[in-house]
Structure 1
Amino acid sequence: MLVKALEVAIIYYVIYYVNQSLGVWQFNRPIIAGPLVGLILGNLHTGIILGATFESVFLGVIAVGGTIPADALIGSTIGTAVAILTGASSSKALAIAVPVAALGAITIQITFAYMALFLPKMDKLAKEGNQKGVVRWHFIMSFMTPLLNTVAIFFAILLGVDAIKNFLAVLPKFVSNGFTAAGEMLPAVGFAMLLNMLFKKKYFIYFFLGFALVVYLKLPNLAVAIFAVVVAMLIYDLEQKIINNHHNKLSDREAQTTPGDLKKSEEEDFLS
């Protein structure tokens, strides 16, 4: 278990570092973390399934403004690892991942608190114009940022998997059924949160289109996704043509307009 705990902790560290420090944005999503954890633990199939399951739950959990959301990465990492190592179902893994993700929001605030101790050093280097020093400390701080959660994941897997396995074995049937029901509802909650943020009248028609394709035409999700990409590309191409035509008309208008007429047109636009 020592080796497996170390492997899971390392994969978490790498995912976090690549996302935050190297700027590969959204690399920390559950749909990426799940398969990587599954691959490192020798069960890629389960990792892919759990990654997709956790992604549907945490799809609408994003940072807006100064808020710190639940940490989907640490939740999906531990949830996937525990499910593979204990043989727990996806619903039980989900019941573990969600509270762990909420706890991750606290640990990341602790991380930001101790990382703030290095900011005066960065400010001093910036005032001195020491670009190399700023870059050097950027990478030093980047290496230290995931350490707290990495250590927490290591000990959670090392010390907690056997306890979790025994706990799940003696869990009453009604509690287990409750976990299953919650696991089936949470993806709907994740999508509802996302739709609530993206709701616009001119876009909402596409939601009903997708709903009709799945419910009435019985299309699989992959077919709907391909259809959506094609529609998005067609709309983008149409909008680009409209923009280009508009620019061409403006260029033709400017080419046919004398400086005096142009000045008069600018004054009319200003007054209007």
Structure 2
Amino acid sequence: MDFQTLLMAFVMGFLYWIANGYFGYTLWMGLGTPFAMGLFAGLIYGDITTGIILAGSIKLIFLGVIAPGGQLPSDENIAAACIIPIALKTGMSTEVALTLAIPVAMLGAFLYNLKKIVNIRFVKMADESAEAVDLKGLWRSAFTWPMLTNFVLFFTPVFLVNIFGENVVKPVLAIIPEWLMGGLEVAGGILPAIGFAMIMIMIGKKQYIPFFIIGYFVTVVSQLNVLVSIILAISIACIIIFLKRELREGEPNV
């Protein structure tokens, strides 16, 4: 095991721990995200562009995922923390990496719910400390013990996957037939579109669906750069906003 792999495993595990530890008011929202994980993974392996592309693609898949009642159905953060480093090291395509991200995300949902079950004990301990006016005990119950528990639940699995994941994935990729690999790539290419579709359904604006279809196929067929696609989308959105404003005012600007 080389130092680079060990460093990657530690960083990804640490970022995923932050994502589920809610450190501060903004730290976990900035560092515990697929984009941060893609950036750090790219820096460690010397391929920031691919790391960001993988992170953005994973984010798109889970764009419409919500947690009703606090029950997380899938966890994009653990998918990014585990899949991006493995994809960068093994050289697998983005599409194949996305198909692997789905089952890993389901594992993250299991860990998230397990955390709630385990932490119930600390709630009772906090109540007992509050009744006894034990401020140190209250602090331990509210912060110290939950953080240590979260470390075991979230840091450890991501660390181990990054250490041993390559040894598992490489032999599997080697034995996958070409036709099946092609199918996985097609399926992986469709997954971001599904994420967008979920968002469109949540918004409930059927009139916006054609824009989604046009944007997706224009980007895929013409192989537009991501930055160019963003600029084009923003320009179209601005045109629509300006036209609507002129129609409301009743006096088009000349």
TM-score of Structure 1 vs Structure 2, range by shorter chain? 0.7 to 0.9
Q: What is the CA deviation profile of residues 233-266 of structure 1, one whole-angstrom value per residue up to 9, with x for unaligned ones?
A: 989x9xxxxxxxxxxxxxxxxxxxxxxxxxxxxx
Write the mapping of 1:32-181 to structure 2, written as runs, cut at 5 A.
32-128=36-132, 134-135=138-139, 137-140=141-144, 141-181=146-186
Task: Give the match for residue 13 of structure 1.
Answer: 14
- Point out where structure 1 has 5 or more consecutive residues left out of the alignment: 238-272
Pairwise CA distance, 1:209: 5.4
In the alignment, the residues of structure 2 paired with residue 144 and residue 90 of structure 1 have an alpha-carbon distance, to the nearest angstrom, of 33
Is there any run of 5+ residues in structure 2 with no aligned partner, and where? 246-254
Over residues 83-113 of structure 1, what are the superposed CA-to-partner deviations in whole Å (9 max), with x where a residue is unaligned?
0111111112112211111121112222222
Identity of aligned residues (%): 30
The answer for the alignment partner of 1:255 in structure 2 is none
- The whole-number CA distance in structure 2 between the counterparts of 1:96 and 1:209 is 29
So what's the TM-score if we normalise by structure 2?
0.76
Aligned to 2:187: 182
Q: Which amino acid aligns with 2:122?
A: F
Q: Give the C-alpha shift of residue 42 in structure 1.
A: 2.6
SS at match of 1:65: helix
Going from structure 1 to structure 2, the CA distance change for 1:119 and 1:11 (only over 3 Å counts) comes to same
Q: What are the residue-to-residue correspondences of 1:22-33 with 2, within 5 Å?
A: 22-24=24-26, 26-27=29-30, 28-33=32-37
How far apart are the structure 1 equivalents of 2:217 and 2:137?
Answer: 58
Q: Quote the Cα distance in structure 1 between the aligned partners of 2:180 and 2:70.
A: 36
Number of aligned positions between the proteins: 233
Q: Is the 8 A contact 2:33 2:77 kept in 1?
A: yes
Contact 2:12 2:82 in 1 (8 A): no
Q: Is the contact made by 1:21 and 1:139 (CA closer than 8 Å) also made in structure 2? A: no
1:162 deviates by 1.7
Write out per-residue CA displacement over residues 6-34 of structure 1, whole angstroms, 9 at most, x where no aligned residue.
53343342354267232326433323322
Deviation at 1:2, TM superposition (A): 5.5
Aligned partners of 2:167 and 2:215: how far apart in 1? 44
Tell me by how many angstroms 1:171 deviates: 1.1
CA offset digits 1:118-156 (Å, max 9, x no partner): 111222234456666545543312353243221111211
Are residues 1:222 and 2:223 paired? no
Q: Once structures 1 and 2 are overlaid, which stretch shifts more, 140-149 or 92-101?
A: 140-149
Which structure exhibits the higher relative contact order, with contacts defined as CA atoms closer than 8 Å and separated by 6 or more residues? 2
Q: Distance in 2 between matches of 1:169 and 1:157?
A: 19
Verify the 8 A CA contact 2:193 2:216 in the aligned structure 1: no
In structure 2, C-alpha distance between the alignment counterparts of 1:119 and 1:221, rounded to whole Å:
48
Letter in 2 for 1:23: Y
Closer, same or farther: CA 168–210 of 1 in aligned 2, 3 Å: closer
Q: Which amino acid aligns with 1:55?
A: K
Q: TM-score, normalised by structure 1?
A: 0.72
CA 1:192–1:63: 2 relative to 1, 3 Å: same
